[in-house]
Chains A and B, each alone.
Chain A
Amino acid sequence: MIGARSIAEPTIKDTIIHRMDPRAKILVLISTAFVAVTLDNPKTMFLLFLIVLSGFALARMPAIKLKTLTLLLVLLIWGTIYSQALFYSQLPRTVIFTILDPDFPVLGWLTNGGLFVYEEGLRHGAIQGLRSASILSLGLLMCWTTDSRDMLNGLVGLRVPYSVAFMVVTAVRFLPIIITEVVTVVTVQRLRGFNPKRFGSGIVKTSLNILTPTLSNCVRRTGTLAVSIQSRAFRANPDRTYLKKLKFSELDKAMVTVCIFAAISIVTIKLLYNMYTSGIYYTSGLRPVYAIARGYL
């Protein structure tokens, strides 16, 4: 069964991916996100997606994680295909199905000429879905191969203020407790005759009935927790020490260098190419660069 646990919990193993420094993972993820939103060539986008997926093989992910990933990817790509099939606004476009006729009363006018499923939109959605799929897959790979504490150490290592990192640590630590509380409250509400799936005003009522006890517990817990951490000298000194020191390995350094270099190069090339196509800036010396952007990116 694919549930919250299979999404949220990391799988700790000793693989090349697991051993990577969390800071390196964050930097690789950010670089990849830049590359993913920059690319336009379907083949290169697919290649990027395959490279990201190969990370799952290297990390020897268990079957449940792979099932979860597959489900999320299928839903994500299908969702993009669905929306783009309806809203595709490029030519040529071939109507393969009419959802709403342009002459349909009121809705035909509201939708500015009906709603159709376009063949080319399906293809466009599938290609563009690869972009989100690459980012999601790499994000999940990062989360599933890194302990949340290491990740937070990585954040602090990347100069995120400690107070913010502390808030995120607190949030992560309390997540299982709060999930359990929410489940308990929902069960109690059901026993009292509420239907949490009821639409309309039922949703507001159910939300209030679930949130009030859950948040009340949080508010109560806040006082205790605040006293507890203040007594442990929270924010007493500007600098603090950490039990676990993060260290970049040679492989991490190489990975980060390659990813950042690739991201900067691809973004710059595409930026120059877009300036050229928009008539903003052109120089004949950059013609090989334009050719690379047009042919491969």
Chain B
Amino acid sequence: MKNIVFFFLVLMLAIQPAAAEEFKPEDMTTFMLQVPHGVEGNGLAVGGSNLSAYLFFESYYEGNMNVTMELDFPEGFVLRDTPVHSFSLQTEYEDWYRLVDFYVPADISPGTYNITATAVVEVEGNKHTIVRGTRLKVASREEIAGEIAVSGLTVPSDEDGYGDHSHPASTLVIRETSPALKKLLKVTDLQLDREELTSTYIGVELTNKGDSTVPVIITYDVLDIKTEEPVKAFKPAIMGMNADTLCYATVTLSPGSSSLVSLPLYISEGAMGGEYLLRVKVKLTGSDWVAVTKDQKITAISRKWGPIIITLVSSLLGLTAVSLFFSRSKEIMDRFKTRNLVLIALFGTVSFAAINLPMTILWELSHAVFGPFSFLFTGLFHEILLYMLIASLVVLIPKPGVVSLFMMVRFLLGGFITGSFTPITFITLSLSAVVLEVLMYAAGITGKNPAPENRFRMGVICGIADMASGYASFSVWMVLYRLFYSDWYIMANILIDGFLYTFIGAWFGISLGNRLKKVAE
């Protein structure tokens, strides 16, 4: 019996709960109040703001506790949520938090308001009260506008908002996606949409000169400098979302501090170069009121790969062809009989007398009257007559090099008589000569067994060559002379002037050549 009593005593001692740890509310809990959310210390708000207060409670007590929390706002503030919250925490490190929305009325008097949160913690039947308080300063708009400033704006910046000397300040480069890159992306199956690419960042430095912590939201707009309307190309829809949902930053400014934030700047391919106005807006969190704006003029430079590459390739092709000719001039010229050279020179004279000379004034006059549509008129003379001469010359002398010599005579004659030694003339004529020579040789019009009498073939070859040189000429105008042309205009020009008129000219040039052949015989 004694043994049984002893056994039960031991068992009771073994299973008896440990003596309850003494609950110390401040040591065994964390209770936090932030008004507005994110602000540690005194917050700042402006009338008309919708804000959230942040309540956080965490237990370090190894046991149950029931908490009743009450948030107390001064009169005038409008709570959007219930002020009293009850919850239980079961274990150590368990926590509870809640965002309590409230509204600061627009007509509330400016001043500093005390906000308190009271937590009544019930542990094992004992109630403990913990109180937290914070102050919210409601300031007038003028006061806030005077306290926050955008002290620096860096465009473009790196991902952290710092300026980079390797890029010109206040300048954006709009790059057309490189054709090589596009091809690479296609090959590697990375179908990246250009609009999804971040082009650059804007660095915004904010200063809080006041004595309150201010949570702010920073956004920006790229505006038309004249109308101040936002330019959509700088805020394209990204993955179906409005760019505004991505192009913002939030920061909490401590009293007397400065912060640097960066904002992504997206540029769509349709963006145009020119002058823009970058407007950075700073709003207080919870309010739509823009506290501070800062404008900066920015320049967007449009870099189009297509025309640049075409200009470069055409220039290199022209220079290579001329260098090749100069280095092997004797060899090339010896292929031609003296009478061939004389005939080419005389054809050059006729082309100059019949086309270049009248066109010197006619071209400019029709350009002045009909504007860019003058090509419909001038092409009739220029393209038809020129290709009549070229086709007839090839019928008379079907040798490789004849077109190049003809073009060279025209270029030099034009240079000496009308001073038209221009880069455009050089590039266009040299490209035209190279393309014509290659295509004519490949099509069997010139060469060992020449067959230049086929009108259709001659028309198509000359048409293609003129289209190529016409397109290159537009690229050169755009790159070297900084002129603008619409795509539809370039297309119309090279189709009508480049192909149609040239085809007609070459077609009739064969008839002319055949007639002249009879004269020569």
Contacts and interface: CB of A to CB of B under 8 A. Distances in A.
A292 interface: no
B256 interface: no
Interface stretch (A137-145, A243-251, A255-263): A137-145
A139 B385 contact: no
Interface string B335-360: 00111011111111110111001101
A282 interface: yes
B448 interface: no
B354 A210 contact: yes
Interface string A124-136: 1000100110011
A87 interface: yes
A167 B345 contact: yes
Interface string B320-338: 0000001001100100011
A2 B329 CA distance: 39
Given A82-B368, A92-B226, A225 B342 contact: yes
Interface stretch (B28-36, B117-125, B429-437, B483-491): B483-491
A151 interface: yes
B18 interface: no
B388 interface: yes
A69 B416 CA distance: 16
A167 B504 CA distance: 28
A172 B417 contact: yes
A276 interface: yes
A80 to B, nearest CB: 7
A277 interface: yes
A90 B484 CA distance: 9
B177 interface: no
Contacts of B421: 26, 29-30, 33, 135, 139, 142
Contacts of B329: 161, 163-164
Contact of B273 (A4, A8, A90, A203): A90
Contacts of A89: 272-273, 484, 486
B301 A277 contact: yes
Given A7-B418, A215-B350, A87 B484 contact: yes
Contacts of B468: none
Contacts of A79: 364, 367-368, 371, 374
B275 interface: yes
A223 B339 contact: yes
Contacts, number: 285
B152 interface: no
Given A90-B273, A278-B303, A175 B224 contact: no
B346 A139 contact: no
Interface in A241-297: 276-279, 282, 284, 287, 290, 294
A288 B515 CA distance: 66
Contacts of A33: 421-423
Interface stretch (A13-21, A187-195, A229-237): A229-237
Given A128-B481, A174-B346, A234-B338, A8 B354 contact: no
A287 B272 CA distance: 27
A277 B388 contact: no
Interface in A152-167: 152, 155, 159-161, 163-164, 166-167
B357 A7 contact: yes
Interface residues of B, number: 91
A171 B365 CA distance: 26
Contacts of B348: 167-168, 171
A63 interface: no
Interface string A64-78: 000000011011101
B345 A110 contact: no
Interface string A167-208: 110111011001100100000000000000001000110011
A139 B420 contact: yes
Contact of A171 (B345, B364, B396): B345
A244 to B, nearest CB: 16
A56 interface: no
A212 B519 CA distance: 10
Interface string A35-49: 001001000000000
A279 B343 contact: no
Nearest to B486: A87
Contact of A277 (B168, B231, B367): B168
Contact of B338 (A2, A131, A151, A229): A229
Chain A interface helix/strand/loop/mixed: helix
Nearest to B479: A37
Given A163-B333, A174-B346, A277-B171, A207 B275 contact: no
A71 B405 contact: no
B347 A208 contact: no
Interface centre among B342, B364, B396 (most CB of A within 10 A): B342
A121 B504 CA distance: 35
A4 to B, nearest CB: 5
Given A172-B413, A278-B173, A4 B520 contact: no
A279 B483 contact: no
A137 to B, nearest CB: 8
A91 B275 contact: yes
Given A94-B226, A276-B166, A216 B519 contact: yes
A96 interface: no
A155 B231 CA distance: 53
Interface centre among B231, B301, B415 (most CB of A within 10 A): B415
B168 A87 contact: no
Contacts of A216: 515-516, 519
B201 interface: no
30 contacts: A7-B417, A26-B421, A72-B361, A76-B364, A79-B371, A83-B367, A86-B372, A89-B273, A89-B486, A91-B224, A91-B225, A91-B272, A92-B275, A112-B487, A143-B417, A164-B409, A166-B345, A167-B348, A178-B346, A203-B384, A204-B504, A207-B384, A208-B388, A208-B508, A208-B511, A215-B516, A221-B346, A222-B342, A226-B339, A226-B342
Interface of A: 2, 4, 7-8, 26, 29-30, 33-34, 37, 40, 71-72, 74-76, 78-80, 82-84, 86-94, 110-112, 121, 124, 128, 131-132, 135-136, 138-143, 146, 148, 151-152, 155, 159-161, 163-164, 166-168, 170-172, 174-175, 178-179, 182, 199, 203-204, 207-208, 210-212, 214-216, 218-223, 225-226, 229-230, 234-235, 238, 276-279, 282, 284, 287, 290, 294
When A and B form their complex, which 5 residue pairs have the shortest distance between CB atoms, in order from nearest?
A139-B419, A79-B367, A75-B364, A90-B274, A226-B339
Interface of B: 165-168, 171, 173, 224-227, 231, 272-276, 300-303, 326, 329-330, 333, 337-339, 341-350, 352-354, 357-358, 360-361, 364-365, 367-368, 371-372, 374, 380-381, 384-385, 388-389, 392, 396, 405, 408-409, 412-413, 415-423, 480-489, 504, 508, 511-512, 515-516, 519-520
